[in-house]
Structure 1
Amino acid sequence: MKFRDGMWMVAEGKRPEYAEEVYSIAEHPAGNSLSLLCPTKRILQRSDSLNLPTLTIDIRAPFDGVISVETTHWLGALNPGPHYDLYPAGKPEKCNPGISKTDTSTTLRSGSISATVKTGNHDFDIRFHATDGSKELTSLLNRSVGFAYSPAPSNQLVTGDMSKFQHYIFTQTTLSVGESVHGLGERFGAFNKVGQAVTLWNADGGTSSDQAYKNIPFWISSRGYGIFIDTPDKVELEVGSERCCRVQTSVEAQRLKWYIIYGPTPKEVLQKYSILTGKPGKVPSWSFGLWLSTSFTTNYDEKTVNSFLEGMKARDIPVEVFHFDCFWLRAFHWCDFVFDSEMFPDPKAQIARLKASGLVKKVCVWINPYLGQASPVFKFAASKGYLLKRKNGDIFQWDLWQTGMGIIDFTNPEACEWYVSCLEGLFDKGVDAIKTDFGERIPSIDVEWFDSSLDPRKMHNYYAFLYNKVVYEAIQDRFGENEAVLFARTATAGTQRFPLQWGGDCESTPEAMAESVRGGLSLGLGGFAFWSVDIGGFEGYPPPWIYKRWVAFGLLCSHSRLHGSNSFRVPWTVDDDDTSEQGCSKTLAKWTSLKARLMPYIFAQAQIAVEQGIPLSLRAMCLEFPEDPTSWFLDRQFMFGDSLLVAPIFEESGDVEFYLPKGRWTSFFTNKTRVGPGWFKEHHQFDTLPLYVRENTILVLGKWHEMRTVYDYAQGVEVCLYQTKPGAKTTVVDSEGEEVGVLEIGEEGHLIDQDFLTGAWHVTRNGRSTIKSKATEN
């Protein structure tokens, strides 16, 4: 939303008003907040205080390293919900607030961050900076805070009828020279958002548009701070795109609140952000294995499912989770939780046979929060008030996706209870995990929720939180707190608490694979630890080379799923069952096996990611190397945990160019080392890619023959030392995520504290064993 036409003119049909000075400051007695009265013109004489608007800016110190800023035009305006569920684990007690003054300024301190307000010469100048004076972060300067009408009113009298006007609040934080901005959800465009106009409004737009399934009102700056916009409402940002030197945030409302979070490192920013909106939930070790789907519109039954899994077993490709996509339900009946009796006459027995065969451990099914009117369940749900209504009392319906589709109203506690009972029916049949698809197409016009106090526009994005929360907690109640797994498509702030998320509908092209990488990187910077993608691409028929390159990328995401639209993703259907070493089947088998071997590292890193509120994979390079300016612009590679660098390949030829930050890096596949910083070019076949291990890493690998993801991560392992120095450490956890020991390099350069390792484990130096050999017991 632009309010100006260039620097000098107002945008057509808009009338912005700006806070022109800080007229007065009220201090809270506790010393933890300031309230600024800011008129929209400078007050040079007493009569200037009449017939003009003011803005109130409340600056507060909620906890150490964080300051909130709330701008309000009319204080009497209601502020209906929903509101984000902040501090889900409790508000931290640690805070060191205080107020200090000089002749020309007032400063509010909140631990490591401070806000200084100039108070002389009719200024409007608010600076956010490190309390110790080491760094200025950003600021609110002249004409940077205000409100706007659209259309422009002819005089103040006509605003007596606000139904004829839209009213916006906006702020413009300064962008420094060279500063970059990242995050704002799962965005598939350029990684650095400077120069972009971004609308935070959940939409089913695929991965090739500026729309996003997961809009997160949080962004992180290369200057060591982040900003969380505290509203699920539709937010529009001009990131250096209205004024090149500012980030403008606007919302159609009477108030706008955001938090500025000081790191100074980006990891610390995310850790503090997770205090506000919640840490990611833990996921079980089995979920890191390969998931295989039936695909979307394909025709399948029990015979089809068994043939897939038997084919995978015959090709040494273990499947941990089998996923039944949409057509486990009857056509026109989505989503009434009733299996298609013609294709699946006894689903409970079928699932039991599937698990008893040993072909798969867990089963997942697809659901969405909608209900087609063809199902008898529709009438039942409508009669009980479980579906969203129009203002006149009609059920809200449209023929979008499902004919006469209704929408489950999760603001109705009884609707939630009923929905959970439907999920329990699936669990009784043997279902272990749920793919929570959709949740983006939530209307905001002519609707009234069961909780009529809620703002329909705010509910559009917030619905994703309620929907996934209900399903996630139902799985927790059945299987245990750390055993719940979703495959969710839509999200908003806080939804990281209900893992995991996947990247939505992508095409089967190298460009779409690159879009997906950018989406995963951006979402990770919103505190989402776990993320996946449709391996091979969702739309279309991937050529074998795309499929194989995507397999390598997909098995190095935190979670890995084969899924398509109208074609299967089992490897032999992609390349006519090429049995060569570089065929689809052998390629998938190698990468699946590699992920299984990496599980001691992956699962230990997963616990750290949850605790710190940071992504496991895809982890943006800037999180690990914030002092390297190049790391803030790398959107074709990522870190998997803190020690593995991954550069997917987007060329059929196998040519790839990637960047290594400062230090010595060792190729996982060859043990050859490279020294960064610098750009490097390599050529790879389909069973390798640039996978580099950071120096001073102790990398614990499972046995050569490990194929599944759940095993004893301390037994028979290979402990690989990569240019380690005294003090280097790594934690080993069990398959439940509990710590079993810490490996450390002692002063003599040898491994100490290793008594907890069992079986025929061994140590390799300067890399790993690249030839299978019998391990020797220590």
Structure 2
Amino acid sequence: MHTSETIHPDQMEGHSEFAFRDLGAYSRVEQREVSVTVHTAESNMTFWYIAPGMLRIACKLKGDSTAIVPTEALLPYMPEAGWKVSEYSDRLELQGGLYRIVMDKSSLTMQIEYAEQKNCGTYKLSNAGSLVRFNGKMLEDAAIYGLGETTGYLNKRGERYTMWNSDVFDPHVPDMESLYQSIPFLIQHTACGSFGLFVDHPGKLIVDLREEQDAYSIQTENGEMDLYVIAGPKLKDVVSGFTNLTGKMQLPPLWSLGYQQSRFSYMNQEEVLQLAGTFREKQIPCDVIYLDIHYMDEYKVFTFDPVRFPDPKGMIQKLKTMGIRIVPIVDPGVKVEQGYEPYEQGVDQGYFCEKPDGEPFVGNVWPGASVFPDFTDEAVRQWWGALHRFYVDHGITGVWNDMNEPSVFNSATKTMDADVLHQNGGNVKTHEDIHNLYGMLMSKATYEGLERLLGGERPFVLTRAGCAGIQRYAAVWTGDNRSYWEHMELFISMGMNLGLSGVPFTGADIGGFMHHASGELLVRWTQLGVFTPFFRNHSAIETRRQEPWTFGDQVEVICRKYIELRYMLLPYLYSLFHASTLNGLPIMRPLVLEYPDDPRTFQLSDQFLLGADVLVAPVCRPGKEVRTVYLPDGIWYDFWTEARYVGGQHIMANAPLETLPLFVKAGAVVPFTSVRQHTDEARWTNLNIHVFGLGESDGQYDSASGEFSLYEDDGISDAYKQGASSELKINFEEKGSLATVNCKIEGNGSDADFKTLMFTFHALSFIPVGIQGISQLHSPEHLEEQRAGWYYDKQDNHLVVKLTFAGDAGFEFVIEG
């Protein structure tokens, strides 16, 4: 434990500020087919036009003639030709595509403009020895978003972060500069537009948004700076552009969107089966149970403890009949033990990371002395992936990668030594140079190995460590949080910024990992978790257990209600996942993403949107039964009471323990399905598509409209990549005394010749009197008996429309008032 002695003046190390200086005098400019290089006395700066809206600037100090090679964080790309260079006595003007760079020859300051003078910032590069610093100006009213998994609020202005993947067991607090994920991508946003900056650098990197009020700096340590500018101009354009560069999430299996239960650890086979039986007995939906390190024989990966788990294959098969899957933890540390096959194979093939003397690096983790695969080598990734046949043969299709920063217990740096060597595809690098890539490459090896072994079934990988591009291979959870109310609130900003940083499949340990949850905290965190992309309850050994039933009947009833809501929302949620695989946009969204012109959304850190139209405002303090909620422009409805609010204002929302403040926008189309105890296929049955109308015409708002693409496939295979999927594209418009619903069906993934749909319309601004071609019925019971018809509930102002349609045709109906 640290005490005040830590800050005794005699104990504190002297602070030294490096003397950064200019990169030397301008020398010459060199134009090539697809690039332009500006030479100075001490550096080379090369410019490439990557794609519309994207510029690459690679700076390298003199003395090393090798080119800067893009890392595995990026997808391959082909720069475009056609640069124009104009040189004047005092400046250079470089024109590449829609970019224009004006560089002052004396100071080497760069002004970057895009498409009709849009300002993408003023920048200057400098160095102090091998340290390279990139300084940029911040506009006075700019907010800074992104930077992946970092503590603090949504707006990162005024913060400082060190990008260095770290196993952080200490409580995650706002001044924690490093966590498990490093994504040096920041977005500068104002009401006038947005642009992004990404540094492709897997070594240590510092992003400082604190030192100067109107500027920020990004600093590397190896004499290089590889920078990408993404012009926007809209915030969504920046996020989509970044995922065009680093890749988009692949569609996960539907079961990975269900409720998931974990603990460090469920200690034996009997406990796991009893746990699963309790979920089914109590009728609490659940899809996944996790196995932490105690399932292994002496913590050796690719083993089961023969005493604790005498029949793992039989256990897993029994769980599958209950609709529950097992996801085991797999760490990178391989126990040093003669006769242990993964260790013997890796040593024989030279697959483990080595010190400069050629000996494997050995560090202590859970099994004791361990060696670590060199995932930068393709052959090693192939070998590691193939080892997962052990799990697949047991019936496992999802894997949890942990400790992959990598964490090392006996190292002063808590990771591999800086001089450990990585083969890196033939371009040998030290661990110091590529540390932040390790976790992502492990997940790549795991995902691709499972993909090869599963024969068309989609794999699921969960990871703790990663960098830009991790979304291509894994979901991310935010590591060892605690059962603190502050940590629950902290995740909201983390999840939103991870989404803006290209990582949509994110979540936190529901209830908190360390410390001791209360029933109230578990309820509030479960309510939040329903609306986060990854939904797992996880707690540590020796903490109070926090399964949904452990705090008594009231907590159990509320948790069941919200977990059931998650399953009802799966058609909406799964469709958002599918859309994210195409456009790269997050599922859990800050309000500023949908309302980028509203300054009141710029700082909102404690509420978010699920998709575009569902607003979630979690309660993050004990004992609170009311909270302030900001409703942006539009008409909004309380999900529970259907109370109507005009947006552009703050309201006070009632929030007793059983109620999460939840709002839906007028025009929203939100498909629901019936509750099941686990996910099945994603060809939705028992669909009820909820549509929210205008409520009334009040002069300010005289119409409501919205759209949604309801996506379907089998939920488990990769057949959707060959077209075995379908989308029901729903458009809704209400104006005056008419409301129109137009539905178009695309794809060929439906097995049924027809499908019955229910539409429930909330808060139409008129009383419906007819729907052409559909008969009015006089009771909900009569509607249930018929294949088509409509019924209006005057008391609740709900119109229910039921219809049956052919699976390959679109349809339209008009509601008349």
TM-score by shorter chain over 0.5: yes
Deviation at 1:570, TM superposition (A): 5.1
Deviation at 1:565, TM superposition (A): 0.6
Q: Are the equivalent residues in 2 in contact too, given 1:84–1:230 (CA < 8 A)?
A: no
Sort the Cα spacing of 1:571 and 1:124 in 2 relative to 1 into closer, same or farther, 3 A: closer
User: What residue in structure 1 maps to residue 164 of structure 2?
Assistant: 201
Report the number of matched residues: 714
Structure 1 segment 251-262 matched on structure 2, within 5 A: 251-262=220-231
User: What residue in structure 2 maps to residue 41 of structure 1?
Assistant: none
User: What residue in structure 2 maps to residue 160 of structure 1?
Assistant: none
| Match for residue 87 of structure 1 among 75, 81, 84 | 75
User: What residue in structure 2 maps to residue 621 of structure 1?
Assistant: 591
User: What residue in structure 2 maps to residue 661 of structure 1?
Assistant: 632
User: What residue in structure 2 maps to residue 334 of structure 1?
Assistant: 300
CA distance in 1, matches of 2:256, 2:107: 56
Percentage identity across aligned positions?
22
CA distance in 1, matches of 2:672, 2:17: 63
User: What residue in structure 2 maps to residue 35 of structure 1?
Assistant: 37
Deviation at 1:475, TM superposition (A): 1.8
User: What residue in structure 1 maps to residue 239 of structure 2?
Assistant: 270
In the alignment, structure 1 residue 740 sits paired with structure 2 residue 707 = no
Map Cα deviations across residues 442-479 of structure 1 (whole Å, 9 max, x no partner).
41423223557123212211111210000011122233
CA distance in 1, matches of 2:629, 2:388: 45
| Match for residue 761 of structure 1 among 749, 755, 758 | 758
Map Cα deviations across residues 248-283 of structure 1 (whole Å, 9 max, x no partner).
111112221201101111211111111211111211
In the alignment, structure 1 residue 172 sits paired with structure 2 residue 135 = yes
Deviation at 1:370, TM superposition (A): 0.6
Q: Are the equivalent residues in 1 in contact too, given 2:276–2:324 (CA < 8 A)?
A: no
Structure 1 segment 96-111 matched on structure 2, within 5 A: 98-99=84-85, 106-111=92-97
CA distance in 2, matches of 1:204, 1:113: 40
Deviation at 1:26, TM superposition (A): 3.4
User: What residue in structure 1 maps to residue 789 of structure 2?
Assistant: none
| Match for residue 127 of structure 1 among 111, 116, 126 | 111
Amino acid at match of 1:129: E
Sort the Cα spacing of 1:257 and 1:75 in 2 relative to 1 into closer, same or farther, 3 A: farther
User: What residue in structure 2 maps to residue 314 of structure 1?
Assistant: 281
Deviation at 1:286, TM superposition (A): 1.8
| Match for residue 643 of structure 1 among 613, 620, 631 | 613
Amino acid at match of 1:626: P
Sort the Cα spacing of 1:92 and 1:313 in 2 relative to 1 into closer, same or farther, 3 A: farther
Q: Are the equivalent residues in 2 in contact too, given 1:174–1:246 (CA < 8 A)?
A: yes
**Please, what is the CA RMSD of the aligned residues?**
3.0
Secondary structure of the structure 2 residue equivalent to 1:762: strand
CA distance in 1, matches of 2:797, 2:285: 20
CA distance in 1, matches of 2:682, 2:756: 10
User: What residue in structure 2 maps to residue 154 of structure 1?
Assistant: none
User: What residue in structure 2 maps to residue 346 of structure 1?
Assistant: 311
Amino acid at match of 1:172: N
Sort the Cα spacing of 1:102 and 1:390 in 2 relative to 1 into closer, same or farther, 3 A: closer
Deviation at 1:338, TM superposition (A): 0.9
In the alignment, structure 1 residue 777 sits paired with structure 2 residue 743 = no
Amino acid at match of 1:147: N
Deviation at 1:671, TM superposition (A): 1.2
Deviation at 1:233, TM superposition (A): 1.6
CA distance in 2, matches of 1:433, 1:273: 27
Deviation at 1:691, TM superposition (A): 1.4
CA distance in 2, matches of 1:327, 1:589: 28
Secondary structure of the structure 2 residue equivalent to 1:551: helix
Deviation at 1:620, TM superposition (A): 2.0
Structure 1 segment 561-710 matched on structure 2, within 5 A: 561-566=536-541, 567=543, 569=545, 571=547, 574-575=550-551, 578-579=552-553, 583-617=554-588, 619-653=589-623, 654-703=625-674, 705-710=675-680
In the alignment, structure 1 residue 323 sits paired with structure 2 residue 310 = no
CA distance in 2, matches of 1:494, 1:317: 35
Sort the Cα spacing of 1:260 and 1:564 in 2 relative to 1 into closer, same or farther, 3 A: same
Amino acid at match of 1:751: V
Sort the Cα spacing of 1:70 and 1:773 in 2 relative to 1 into closer, same or farther, 3 A: closer
Structure 1 segment 473-492 matched on structure 2, within 5 A: 473-479=448-454, 483-492=458-467
Secondary structure of the structure 1 residue equivalent to 2:244: helix
CA distance in 2, matches of 1:25, 1:64: 24
Deviation at 1:244, TM superposition (A): 2.6
Secondary structure of the structure 2 residue equivalent to 1:365: strand
Amino acid at match of 1:589: R
Sort the Cα spacing of 1:544 and 1:639 in 2 relative to 1 into closer, same or farther, 3 A: same
Sort the Cα spacing of 1:393 and 1:557 in 2 relative to 1 into closer, same or farther, 3 A: same
Secondary structure of the structure 2 residue equivalent to 1:399: strand
Deviation at 1:129, TM superposition (A): 2.2
Q: So what's the TM-score if we normalise by structure 1? A: 0.85
Sort the Cα spacing of 1:481 and 1:229 in 2 relative to 1 into closer, same or farther, 3 A: farther
Amino acid at match of 2:311: D
Deviation at 1:124, TM superposition (A): 3.6
Secondary structure of the structure 1 residue equivalent to 2:429: coil
CA distance in 2, matches of 1:82, 1:728: 41
Amino acid at match of 2:320: K
Amino acid at match of 1:316: Q
Q: Give the structure with the larger strand fraction.
A: 2
CA distance in 2, matches of 1:556, 1:281: 20
Sort the Cα spacing of 1:78 and 1:546 in 2 relative to 1 into closer, same or farther, 3 A: same
Amino acid at match of 2:120: L
Amino acid at match of 1:549: R
Q: Are the equivalent residues in 2 in contact too, given 1:82–1:462 (CA < 8 A)?
A: no
User: What residue in structure 2 maps to residue 228 of structure 1?
Assistant: 198
Deviation at 1:201, TM superposition (A): 0.4
Deviation at 1:627, TM superposition (A): 1.2
Structure 1 segment 81-480 matched on structure 2, within 5 A: 83-88=71-76, 90-91=77-78, 98-99=84-85, 106-118=92-104, 122=106, 124-133=108-117, 135-140=118-123, 144-149=124-129, 167-206=130-169, 207-208=172-173, 209-223=176-190, 224-241=194-211, 243-293=212-262, 295-298=263-266, 300-331=267-298, 333-335=299-301, 337-356=302-321, 358=322, 360-373=323-336, 376-377=339-340, 378-379=343-344, 381-440=346-405, 441=407, 442-450=415-423, 453-479=428-454
CA distance in 2, matches of 1:684, 1:643: 20
Sort the Cα spacing of 1:572 and 1:701 in 2 relative to 1 into closer, same or farther, 3 A: closer
Secondary structure of the structure 2 residue equivalent to 1:759: strand
User: What residue in structure 2 maps to residue 14 of structure 1?
Assistant: 18
Amino acid at match of 2:249: P
CA distance in 1, matches of 2:801, 2:634: 31
CA distance in 1, matches of 2:606, 2:576: 22
CA distance in 2, matches of 1:27, 1:700: 55
Amino acid at match of 2:597: E
In the alignment, structure 1 residue 60 sits paired with structure 2 residue 44 = no
Q: Are the equivalent residues in 2 in contact too, given 1:270–1:614 (CA < 8 A)?
A: yes
User: What residue in structure 2 maps to residue 46 of structure 1?
Assistant: none
Deviation at 1:506, TM superposition (A): 0.6
Deviation at 1:612, TM superposition (A): 1.3
Secondary structure of the structure 2 residue equivalent to 1:542: coil
Secondary structure of the structure 1 residue equivalent to 2:647: strand
Map Cα deviations across residues 619-675 of structure 1 (whole Å, 9 max, x no partner).
222221211122221111111112211111112223322222122111212211222
Secondary structure of the structure 2 residue equivalent to 1:15: coil
Sort the Cα spacing of 1:745 and 1:417 in 2 relative to 1 into closer, same or farther, 3 A: closer
Which residues of structure 1 form unaligned runs of 5+? Answer: 1-9, 39-52, 150-166
CA distance in 2, matches of 1:63, 1:754: 33
User: What residue in structure 1 maps to residue 520 of structure 2?
Assistant: 545
Q: Are the equivalent residues in 2 in contact too, given 1:81–1:455 (CA < 8 A)?
A: no
Amino acid at match of 2:121: T
Deviation at 1:413, TM superposition (A): 4.5
Q: Are the equivalent residues in 1 in contact too, given 2:49–2:79 (CA < 8 A)?
A: no
Q: Greater CA deviation, 727-736 or 504-513?
A: 727-736
Q: Are the equivalent residues in 1 in contact too, given 2:537–2:547 (CA < 8 A)?
A: no
Amino acid at match of 2:727: V
Deviation at 1:103, TM superposition (A): 8.1
Q: So what's the TM-score if we normalise by structure 2? A: 0.81
CA distance in 2, matches of 1:211, 1:25: 38
Q: Greater CA deviation, 191-200 or 592-601?
A: 191-200
CA distance in 1, matches of 2:456, 2:669: 30
User: What residue in structure 1 maps to residue 717 of structure 2?
Assistant: none
Q: Are the equivalent residues in 2 in contact too, given 1:390–1:446 (CA < 8 A)?
A: yes
Sort the Cα spacing of 1:757 and 1:66 in 2 relative to 1 into closer, same or farther, 3 A: farther
CA distance in 1, matches of 2:297, 2:470: 30
CA distance in 1, matches of 2:18, 2:219: 13
Map Cα deviations across residues 521-540 of structure 1 (whole Å, 9 max, x no partner).
22112101111211110002
